[in-house]
Amino acid sequence: MALKLYVGGLPYATTDEELKDAFAQAGTVTSATIIIDRASGRSKGFGFVEMSNDAEAQAAIELWNEKEFNGRTLTVNEARPLEARPPRRDFNGGNRGGNRDFQGGSNSRW
């Protein structure tokens, strides 16, 4: 069974391929993904690596947790499942129509 690892503290310039190559030192990497911010298109500084089995995943944790990678200290541990979150609210309290009482601009009645 493959095990997914969380990798935090990554340098922002790290690529998926560099992450995969680094973790391949501990065994077979089935996937390596850097998480990218949708708004900016830049790395968020963390990612996920999936190892082919539990023994290799444990070896990867021992190899990289609290170790330096390209000038940054990594945090590596077993990834937790995504927790359910409440729905997001927008800036005006969830009222998508905004404040309908306001009549701004040059045609204001006030």
Q: Answer whether residue 86 is part of any domain.
A: no
Establish if 10 belongs to a structural domain.
yes
Number of domains in the chain: 1
Residue 84: its pLDDT value, please?
Answer: 82
Q: Is residue 38, in this structure, part of any structural domain at all?
A: yes
Contact 98, 92 (CB under 8 A): yes
Q: pLDDT per residue over 27-49, tens digit each?
A: 999 999 999 999 999 999 999 99
**How high does pLDDT run on average in the chain?**
87
Query: Which is nearest to 29 in space by CA: 57, 66, 69, 58?
Result: 57
- 21 Rama class: left (phi>0) / alpha (psi -120 to 50) / beta: alpha
Q: Is residue 54 part of a domain?
A: yes
Is 97 inside a domain boundary? no
Is 9 contained in some domain?
yes
The predicted model scores a pTM of 0.74
CATH assignment of the domain containing 11:
3.30.70.330
| Per-residue pLDDT tens digits for 9-22 | 999 999 999 999 99
* Domain span at 50: 3-78
Domain assignment present for residue 20? The answer is yes
Inside any domain, residue 106? no
